A = this chain, B = another copy of it.
């Protein structure tokens, strides 16, 4: 038996391009670089990687990165951490926009040579041959130095290494000098430079993308009793909102409203002549998405409104609702942008068997989609031109994912300051996907999370390391569409609980008008819709009506501005409680540690031993420390993890403690 080997004469291809080093597990990286991760201006961007090669050579590595307008790569060193067997480094994010980064590594031939020669010298071995190799390294470096003192130094050092008249021990001593190695490294060629096989992107937003208090208002409700309000009248409400500490004033659509099939009060099908209609039925004879409702004023009035807000340190956010009333100019100008029935008529919106005859959806995959998508984008550019840089996007999950990814990137290329808030209430995976596609912030299911277990599970998901790379939950405590039963049943105490939770669980949160007055009458038992919803009618309010929680809001927003820990997203740590009506969590930032304790029962006094996540705050198990309630000023001495609280919802919804210097540290 003499089996013959199979002939296989093929030789390996591409050995020239085969990577010499392995670079893996680069972080942060989202879905294999398919989507950018998110950061805000001013942060230091930390990058880590596993890097290794075969054999025993020493290696070096760096981050290579490029800012939004950089034409050249820049470099930041990566250093090795033995315990994690991992390389770490970072660079400052000093501009907004999209940054590109990757990791590179190479064999550190010079340090490897130096280390081996040192070991041999230490063992008393003859290193003559090794010194010749060193001379070759130095000569190569000197050639790359081309001229000047460096070249001379390297050349003469190489000659010295070759000088067999001197004992190799003496030559080695000079050849191993750190300054000589450092000089040679300046002109070192990384012959096996290996780059991670993907380039990654980080979207750097302005800080308001992560930290802001939002207030939603209908400017048309700011008129005199019974009259349609104007931008000029709405501007008079701005100083009050600035005093309450809001950063962003979000307006539902301000465009002309369709009259055909207009909805009446409480969503009835037959509007009377003086019903203002739903602002989301966009478009009339007065124009479409780039026009203002003439009842609100002119575009100049709007500009003045924006300027007035800016003067108060606030910015205006507009609603971006890509749908049309039957009277929108696009229906006549571009009927091919809509869904067409077999009989040639256009299709209104449906969710069978429900019909929404006052709204026509756009057909984003129509043949003329390029012009449609561009027109949708141009709407945003129009408003950006009018000083609006933040957009609350209506129902993005009913428009194509591909549209959002293109549109947001296209707008942010020229306007990296633009912020997009996704209003998608759908399955969590779809909401997360929209965030990956580029939405700066996202609404959440916060309004439906009211027990301590629900709140903790919910926030631990959204504040988990992998999710917070791209998802920033904007915790709205109510919206024109969502009046939760918790508020209906719990009344004013419940409003105070939800305000405290929203404003401390996330650095971005918001309320919709009337929350400060504890408005909580649903259109009918069990409904989440408001009675006499402002979506369909004007709603006059007295901003300091009895029972308002303006003082709570102002205090919370002041505390948020004064405490860095409340401005960050990735610093939430939950504690425990022996009473399931009491939620405990900590927010840590250097020099600013907060402990928040909330009684989610709006009706009864609750007391408990709570268990503070002291390891997240660097507090010892036996350590005494003082906590000061930033809302009431009260101080308590606490010790270690377990401490006692008692919260009466009639007086306060919870504690917002700042940890003062611990007693043992002061001692």
Q: Which residue numbers of A lie inside 8 Å of B, CB to CB? A: 1-6, 8-12, 15, 18-20, 22, 24, 31-34, 50, 52-56, 85, 115-116, 119-120, 122-123, 125, 129, 132-133, 135-136, 192, 197-198, 299-300, 303-304, 307, 341-343, 350-353, 365, 369-371, 373-374, 377-378, 381-382, 384-387, 396-402, 406-407, 410, 414-415, 427-430, 433
Which of A24, A307, A384 gathers the greatest number of chain B CB atoms within 10 Å? A24
Residue on B nearest A398 in the bound complex, by CB? B55
B5 touches A342 (CB 8 A): no
The residue that A3 contacts in the complex, of B132, B353, B386, B401, with Cβ under 8 A, is B386
Q: Given the complex, which residues of B lie within 8 Å of A52, measured CB to CB?
A: 427, 429-430, 433
Known: A2-B303, A352-B116. A22 touches B369 (CB 8 A): no
Docked CA distance A133–B398 (Å):
21
Known: A132-B343, A342-B136, A384-B6. A22 touches B401 (CB 8 A): yes
Expressed in whole angstroms, the minimum distance between the Cβ of A102 and any Cβ of chain B is 14
The residue that A300 contacts in the complex, of B2, B307, B352, with Cβ under 8 A, is B2
Docked CA distance A125–B54 (Å):
72
Residue on B nearest A405 in the bound complex, by CB? B18
Expressed in whole angstroms, the minimum distance between the Cβ of A310 and any Cβ of chain B is 11
Q: Given the complex, which residues of B lie within 8 Å of A343, measured CB to CB?
A: 129, 132
B385 touches A429 (CB 8 A): no
A24 touches B18 (CB 8 A): no
Docked CA distance A540–B128 (Å):
45
B3 touches A378 (CB 8 A): no
Offer 9 A-B interface pairs, CB within 8 angstroms, sorted by A.
A2-B299, A5-B386, A8-B410, A12-B370, A12-B410, A18-B400, A24-B429, A119-B352, A192-B365
Q: Given the complex, which residues of B lie within 8 Å of A386, measured CB to CB?
A: 3, 5
A402 touches B1 (CB 8 A): no
B129 touches A11 (CB 8 A): no
A374 touches B4 (CB 8 A): no
A24 touches B385 (CB 8 A): no
Docked CA distance A233–B54 (Å):
39
A10 touches B410 (CB 8 A): yes
Docked CA distance A233–B401 (Å):
71
Q: Given the complex, which residues of B lie within 8 Å of A414, measured CB to CB?
A: 6, 8
A12 touches B54 (CB 8 A): no
Q: Given the complex, which residues of B lie within 8 Å of A34, measured CB to CB?
A: 197
Docked CA distance A56–B9 (Å):
56
Q: Given the complex, which residues of B lie within 8 Å of A429, measured CB to CB?
A: 24, 50, 52, 85
Known: A8-B381, A50-B429, A353-B122. A129 touches B31 (CB 8 A): no
Q: Given the complex, which residues of B lie within 8 Å of A115, measured CB to CB?
A: 352
Docked CA distance A279–B299 (Å):
89
The residue that A6 contacts in the complex, of B303, B381, B406, with Cβ under 8 A, is B381
B370 touches A1 (CB 8 A): no
B2 touches A374 (CB 8 A): no
The residue that A15 contacts in the complex, of B373, B377, B401, with Cβ under 8 A, is B373
Docked CA distance A406–B17 (Å):
12
Residue on B nearest A7 in the bound complex, by CB? B381
Q: Given the complex, which residues of B lie within 8 Å of A398, measured CB to CB?
A: 54-56
The residue that A5 contacts in the complex, of B50, B129, B300, B381, with Cβ under 8 A, is B381
Q: Given the complex, which residues of B lie within 8 Å of A20, measured CB to CB?
A: 365, 400, 402
Expressed in whole angstroms, the minimum distance between the Cβ of A251 and any Cβ of chain B is 18
Q: Given the complex, which residues of B lie within 8 Å of A120, measured CB to CB?
A: 352-353
Q: Given the complex, which residues of B lie within 8 Å of A351, measured CB to CB?
A: 56
Closest 6 pairs between A and B when the two form their complex, measured CB to CB: A5-B385, A32-B32, A123-B353, A18-B402, A132-B342, A119-B352
Expressed in whole angstroms, the minimum distance between the Cβ of A48 and any Cβ of chain B is 13
A342 touches B400 (CB 8 A): no
Q: Given the complex, which residues of B lie within 8 Å of A428, measured CB to CB?
A: 85
The residue that A24 contacts in the complex, of B4, B31, B85, B125, with Cβ under 8 A, is B31
Docked CA distance A33–B115 (Å):
38
Q: Given the complex, which residues of B lie within 8 Å of A303, measured CB to CB?
A: 1-3
Docked CA distance A22–B55 (Å):
42
Q: Given the complex, which residues of B lie within 8 Å of A352, measured CB to CB?
A: 115-116, 119-120, 123
A402 touches B11 (CB 8 A): no
Residue on B nearest A135 in the bound complex, by CB? B342
Expressed in whole angstroms, the minimum distance between the Cβ of A41 and any Cβ of chain B is 22
Docked CA distance A244–B32 (Å):
48
B402 touches A341 (CB 8 A): no
B122 touches A373 (CB 8 A): no
A129 touches B85 (CB 8 A): no
Q: Given the complex, which residues of B lie within 8 Å of A8, measured CB to CB?
A: 377-378, 381, 410, 414
A401 touches B299 (CB 8 A): no
Docked CA distance A499–B235 (Å):
82
Expressed in whole angstroms, the minimum distance between the Cβ of A4 and any Cβ of chain B is 6
Expressed in whole angstroms, the minimum distance between the Cβ of A135 and any Cβ of chain B is 8
Q: Given the complex, which residues of B lie within 8 Å of A33, measured CB to CB?
A: 32
Docked CA distance A378–B10 (Å):
10
Known: A353-B120, A370-B15. A307 touches B1 (CB 8 A): yes
Expressed in whole angstroms, the minimum distance between the Cβ of A619 and any Cβ of chain B is 29
Q: Given the complex, which residues of B lie within 8 Å of A342, measured CB to CB?
A: 129, 132-133, 135-136
Residue on B nearest A404 in the bound complex, by CB? B54
B406 touches A18 (CB 8 A): yes
Q: Given the complex, which residues of B lie within 8 Å of A407, measured CB to CB?
A: 12
B384 touches A125 (CB 8 A): no
Docked CA distance A410–B12 (Å):
9
Q: Given the complex, which residues of B lie within 8 Å of A32, measured CB to CB?
A: 32-33, 198
